[in-house]
Structure formats: C-alpha cells, structure tokens
Chains A and B, each alone.
Chain A
Amino acid sequence: MSKLSRFVLLVFLVALSLWGMWPTLQWYFVLPEETKELVKISEEEMDKLSPELRKQVLDIKALRKKVMNLGLDLQGGANLLLEVDQEELKAQLAEKGGDTLSENAFREELDKATERATEILKNRMDTFGVSEVSIAKTFDGRISIEMPGVSDPQLVKESLSKIGRLEFKLVDEETMKKLRDLGVPMVGDAVMSLQGLPTNFTLPSDSDWYPWYENDDYGIPHLRGWYVLKKETVLDGTYVESARSDMNPTTGQPVVSFSLTLEGADIFADVTRNNIGRRLAIVLDGRVKSAPVIHSEIPGGKGEISGRFTYNETEFLANILKAGALPVRLNVVEERVVGPSLGADAIQGGTKAVLIAILAVVVFMVIWYKGSGVIAVIGLVFNMFFLFAILAGIFRATMTLSGIAGIALTVGMAVDANVIIFSRIREEMKRSHNFRHALENGYKHASATIWDSNITTFFAAVALSLFGTGSIKGFGMTLGAGIIANMFAMLFVTKLIYDFLLDTLKLKKVSV
C-alpha cells in the first residue's frame, strides 16, 4: 500500500473511533449534571411531559445506552444476588403434582421460576426508587440486581420479598370506544398517551387507567400505552392451577393454555359467559401484560389464549400466569455494597497507577531507543486510543477496577512489539549500515514473531470471552481488544511514521 493510502486509512480509523467514543466523551466531559439527571425520569412520568421535553428525555436515554459505564466498584452502589427458594418451590410442586418430580423436571421448574421472578422484578424495577437498575439472570440460575449509587439496599430488599400480584380485570370497552370515537390516538387498541385527552372526557368512577408494558428485544419492559380497565378484579392469580405454551391443533398457531382451580373455574365460566366479545386484561403488579378477547364461554376451567403470538411470547405469558399459582420466594445469597468514597478511591488509585506506568514506560523507551523510542511512544498513544474506541464503541464495555488493571498491564506489554522490532533492527544494523534496509528487514523478520506470539494470546482471550462469565468475560474482551489495537498501532502506525520520516522528510536514519 502506498504511503498516502495508508495515511488515509489511518485518518479514517481515527475518525471512526472518535465517532464510536463520542457518546462516552459527551457523557463524561460535555453534558451538565442537570441534563444527565433526565435519565432518571420513568416512562410513566415521561408521559406527562411536554413533547419537546419528552424528546429531550428520549434522546438522553438513547445516548445513555451508548455510553461506557463505570462498574459498581468504581461508581459505588449495591449488587444483590438472589436465588429462588428451592425448598419452598419443591413443597409447592409436591402439593400441586402429588407425586415427586424427577431431578430434571425440577431443574426445569426451577429455571422457569427464576425466569418468572426475573420478569416480576423487571416489571417493578422502576419502583425501587433507583434509576438505572439492571436485573439479569446469571449463568448459574441466580438473579443479579445492580443498583448504582445505592448504599443501603434495605428498601429494595423489602420490595423483593413481595410476591408478584397477578390479576384479571375486564377492559372497560364502552370507555375505550368513546375514546376512539373522540379521535384519541391509539396504539394496538390501547390509548397512546394520557396527554392531550379531550377535555370533555371523564373517566367512569368504577374504572381506571392501567399502563400497558411490553418487553423489548432485550427483555426490558417499556410503556406501550394505556388501558381503561374496570377496577374490580374478576379473578386473581391464586386461582390459576397451571399454564403452558402450546399449539392450537387446528390453526397450528402458538397459544397459551391454562387451567384453573375448581373454584376459579366457576367464576371464570360466569365471567366469560357474560362478557363475550370483551377483552380480559392480565395484570401483573398493576401493569397490563396482555389483553386477549373472550371469544366464547369457557366452562370447566380450561382455556386457551390465542392471538398473533410468537412461540416466545406464549412462553413468556404462560410463565407470567404461573406467578399466581407458584409464587416464588427469593433469598438474598450475596450482597455487595461499595460506598461512593470507596469507589472514588478506586478510580483515583487506578488512574494514578496507569499514569505512572505510562510515565515509566515512556521515560524508559525514550532513553533506551532515543528517536525510535519516541516513535514507539506515539504508537503507544494510538494503542490506548484504539483500545478505548473498541471498548466504548463496539463492546459498550463497563469499566471496572480490574479493567483499569488490564489497561495498566497493556501499557507495559504494548511496547513489546516495538521492542522486538527495534532489537531486530539493531541486529540488522550490525550486518549492513543502510538504515532503510535494516528497518525493512527488521519489520519483516519481527512481524512473523509478533503475529505468532499475539495470535496464541488472542485465542486465549477469545476463549475467555466465550466461556468466561462476569468479570472474566470482561477481562477476556479487554485483552482481545488490547491485542487488536496493539498489533495495529505497533506494526501499522509506527511503520507509517518511519516511512514518513525517511521518505518524506528525507532523513538518513532514525536513532535506535
């Protein structure tokens, strides 16, 4: 490749990296605190805002997702690890099924219960009084809750002990029809927003607004719209005996089939007989999860919910329906709290260590290799730059203390490629005094070694990020990104600098 095209490629990659890092840079260095606070506004609160303000909040929330986060060990916060109470689940299942379950069947039920508990928690995550809670099922079947900035998780723990409240409520079809006739914008048969409702509209006293939440691709619930439901609960979750995802034998479509307890079956038969054509909303902790239409009377307590569902959606809904039948009790098995000052100390110490490591390496390289040492240092700067770009722009990594340690080590190891090249150039210089010649030979011979040694480490890094979990995964990703950034900076960028010095500036040699 000609020098010019290599230079253009470098400029292009730098621009691309800046673009990838821009949200992170903006968040930590440009935006004022008041603007960042907007992230904390919940979706239901957002519905009450003016359109301009709402757009601003949406923009800031979208930006926030692209920002490299600080781990709880750096910004302070609480991390809870929860586990489904296995003994209780076993007892409940024994009560329902009668005979004992096989080990495998129990594992499956446990997994479902964990998933259900995760759903229930996600459904009420914005009631924890903390912004940016993250709730996830871990690889070993536990639930991890991360709450940045929380130093006493007691409030959250109390909220955890409450089991999910599942209710069935009838949709107030008359009011919904009135709203539609008044020209209120609708989304999927629900009202889009509570803003700008006609002034002549009044809510009947026996009905109320209920928010309708739907999960996005990442399993995070989002507000889709609002239903007017009758306040009266026609049936609650305790009457549900079982629910599973199924397939309708005639249409072949995925459906949820469920069965109710004897008492529940009677109530349900009454409700369905009197309300054919209306919708019955499935409400979890006050939020509508689905509102299927009642097509016919359902006697005998065995029914089916059909709609344009995908298989995953029916799985999800069936699992929610079981919330009433199999209430899950969660135990806190691990709790980590990092106070804000401790986090600040960690950032300060880590940054100091990285800076001192950089300084030591820079001083050493410049003294030892003189002019070439300066080139290696420039390579190091590019290396760090690209590493951050990959972490922030591609991996959306979370920066933790061990991540900082990884970066400090990368600084030390980064110059290795250049050290290999430089000692090769020195050797070549003993054979021929033509610097240009020695340089080309040095890069050529050293490249094979550098590739070999880095590829094995890169494989190890890939293995860690594929098979590792938690901090090990993050570590593997940092290591892998570090190798890519390093190879590029130390082979490509430094060579370009040499070529520029020798060809364009017509230098005879660069001290090494």
Chain B
Amino acid sequence: MNERKPIPFMRVAPFAIAISLTIIVLGIIFYALKGGFEVGIDFKGGYRAEVAIGQSVSVGEVRSVFKNRGIAANVTTVGLVTDNRFVITVPYEAGSDGIALIRDVLTQVYGQDKVQIMGTTVVEAKVGKSFVYRALNLIWVVSLIVLLYVVIRFDFSYGVGAILAMAHDLFIMLAFAVFMRIPIDITIIAAILTILGYSINDTIVVFDRIREKKQLAKEENFLMVIDQSVTEVLDRSIITSLTTLFSAVALYIWGGEVLRNFSFLLIVGLISGTYSSVMIGSPVTAGVRMLLTKEAK
C-alpha cells in the first residue's frame, strides 16, 4: 500500500493556535477601544437613503455638503464610482424626517432633476434590538444541537473539539467585523450562521477520517493519526473550500452593495472554517483525550 506521507500538522498546531488567539485578542482590544461593534440602523435606528446623482461627484464632496450644514451624515459609495450612487444615513431623531432632510440638502446643491432617491429605510431607535438579539440567541441553540449530536455520534472529546472550532470561527468573524468596521445587522448574522453550518460540516469530515484511522492505532499515537487523517482528506478540504470560495467571491464582486459585507465575512469564515477543523478542532480533541486518559489512570 502506498499511503501518502503524513504532513506534520500537529507540530505546527501550537503556533497556529497562537496566531488565532492573537487575532481574537486584537479583536477584543479593538472592540474595547472602539466601544463595541459598529451597528447598522437596523440596530440603533436612523434614516437611510440610497440616492443617484445625475452628475459626477466624489464621495468626499457629498460628505462635505452635509458636514458644512452641521448634519452628522454617514456617506458611502455604492457600486462603481462612475455610477455616482451613494448611501446616506443620518441618526434617528424623534419627530423629524431624516429622509426629507437628505433630499432637501441634495436638491439644494445639485438641483431637483439631478437627485433621484432609489430606496429609503427608516427605523425608530428602539425597534431593532429585540430582532437582532433573538437572532443572536439562535447561535447558542445551534451550537448546543451540534455538540449533542457529535457527543452521541463520536464521543465527548470530539464534541469539545467541534464546539471550540465553531467558537473559533465565530470569534474570528466577529474580530474581522470589528477591524473592518462592518455594521452588525441581520445579513451579518445570516453569514455567521452559514459559516457555523459550514464549519461543523468540514470538521466532521476530518473527524470521521480520524475516527476511522484511530481504530487501527493505539491511543498514544493519536497525534500521528490526526496528521495521517488530515493529510488524506486535505485535497477534499481544499477543493470544497475553493468551490465555495468561488461563490462567495462572485457574491462579493457582483452581488451588489447589500451583500458586500455579508460576502466579505463569508470569505473570512470559509477560510477560518476550513483551517479550524485541522488546527483547532483536532488538537483540542487530542488534548481532551490526553487529559481524560491521564485522569483514568
């Protein structure tokens, strides 16, 4: 039998874990410095208008138009720069009409026929929270179900490994959300849930192979079994991440503004999810097993 030579993954695992922890700790530091996540108007309330302007203007010009009038507006470009399309948000204020404010300011500067409002959103300040919190709670429910299944189907040590791999991906994605100042909204939660599903899927493919190989080996050689198994499923892991990345990148480039942050976090999560099955889930499982056998002695 010509088995492939195992790649010594477990030897580099400690460094990998250190890198992951660094990213997560950086994320926490950024989180503390910036005073939490960027939140979308879904969450904190506000007025949001997507506008098209019928002449060439830069995003900086639009920003200063609002700034000069003392309005705390947030302006970003949508699509190509040549489209001259912008998303403008202003904070919520009871009793005022932020959309009318945006429209009035822009028509004053660019003229009525040049300003076209494509879409608007108004969220009152207190509405968003309950919805987002409820969605976040789902993450715990899903994790619990996964843990239960893995514990029943494999054993406790794999369950811990799988859950920590999932937690890793969650924290890495949240860290990138903080770095990139991506506002947390409902699409971002959908991205997180997608990745959790993907991550567990990937982890189980690796674990399945480890379990299969383990039947032929002694407990002491568990780390070697991991290396051997990961090497064998490596091509599958890479190919599946690749084909899924094709989709995520396609969404990032062509999916439009609404899906941009969503697909960015998907790309981060896909890489993290594939990596964590090998570098987090497997060594953690090995560690838990070592602790358990020591205790048994």
Contact = CB atoms under 8 A, between A and B. Distances in A.
Interface string A323-355: 000000001111111110110011001101110
Interface in A456-512: 456-457, 459-461, 463-464, 467-472, 475, 479
Band of interface residues on A: 35 or more
Given A361-B246, A408-B251, A461-B197, A470 B120 contact: no
6 contacts: A357-B250, A360-B247, A416-B240, A423-B235, A460-B196, A479-B194
B9 to A, nearest CB: 17
B190 A475 contact: yes
Nearest to B239: A419
Interface stretch (B18-26, B31-39, B124-132, B286-294): B124-132
Interface stretch (B57-65, B144-152, B168-176): B144-152
Interface string B216-256: 00000000000000001101100110111111101101111
Contact of B247 (A349, A412, A430, A452): A412
Interface in A439-469: 445, 448-449, 452-457, 459-461, 463-464, 467-469
Contacts of A354: 250
B240 A453 contact: no
A271 interface: no
Contacts of A139: 134
A456 B204 contact: yes
A456 to B, nearest CB: 5
B55 interface: no
A402 B258 CA distance: 9
Nearest to B186: A471
Given A334-B127, A336-B120, A456-B146, A349 B256 contact: yes
Given A350-B256, A360-B246, A401-B259, A342 B118 contact: yes
A467 B122 CA distance: 26
* 10 A-B pairs with least C-beta separation: A412-B247, A412-B244, A349-B256, A360-B246, A357-B247, A333-B124, A453-B204, A335-B122, A353-B254, A449-B208
Mostly, the B contact residues are helix
Contact of B201 (A332, A364, A456): A456
Interface of B: 1-2, 50, 117-124, 126-127, 130-131, 134-135, 138, 141-142, 145-146, 149-150, 153, 186-187, 189-190, 193-194, 196-198, 200-202, 204-205, 208-209, 212, 232-233, 235-236, 239-240, 242-248, 250-251, 253-256, 258-259, 262-263, 266
Nearest to A416: B240
B145 to A, nearest CB: 5
Residue with the highest number of chain B CB atoms closer than 10 Å, among A140, A331, A454, A459: A459
A218 to B, nearest CB: 24
B205 A453 contact: yes
B121 A336 contact: yes
Mostly, the A contact residues are helix
Given A342-B118, A404-B255, A470-B186, 17 more contacts: A142-B127, A332-B124, A334-B122, A335-B122, A336-B119, A336-B122, A353-B250, A354-B250, A405-B255, A408-B250, A413-B244, A449-B204, A449-B205, A459-B145, A461-B197, A469-B134, A471-B190
Nearest to A79: B121
Given A339-B117, A460-B197, A475-B193, A334 B246 contact: no
A463 B262 contact: no
Contact of B246 (A412, A416, A420): A412
Nearest to B1: A431
Nearest to B128: A334
Contacts of B242: 364
Contact of A361 (B186, B204, B243, B254): B243
A140 B205 contact: no
Interface string A224-248: 0000000000000000000000000
Contacts of B123: 333-334
B218 to A, nearest CB: 23
Contacts of A475: 190, 193-194
B243 A364 contact: yes
A146 interface: no
A479 B138 CA distance: 15
B2 A469 contact: no
Contact of B200 (A73, A339, A456): A456
Nearest to A338: B119
Contacts of A455: 149
A430 to B, nearest CB: 6
Interface in A377-416: 401-402, 404-406, 408-409, 411-413, 415-416
A470 B193 contact: no
Nearest to B135: A472
A364 B196 contact: no
A49 B149 CA distance: 59
B118 A341 contact: yes
Contacts of A401: 256, 258-259
A460 B250 contact: no
A456 B150 contact: yes
Contacts of A404: 255
A405 B259 contact: yes
Contacts of A365: 243
A356 interface: yes
B232 A457 contact: no
A139 B253 CA distance: 35
B118 A457 contact: no
Nearest to B253: A353
B130 A472 contact: no
Nearest to A474: B190
A78 to B, nearest CB: 9
A411 B247 contact: yes
A419 B135 contact: no
Contacts of B190: 402, 471-472, 475
B2 A409 contact: no
B205 A459 contact: no
A81 interface: yes
Contacts of B250: 352-354, 356-357, 360, 408
A81 B127 contact: yes
Nearest to B241: A412
A460 B254 contact: no
Contacts of B256: 345-346, 349-350, 401
Given A342-B118, A469-B131, A472-B193, A402 B187 contact: yes
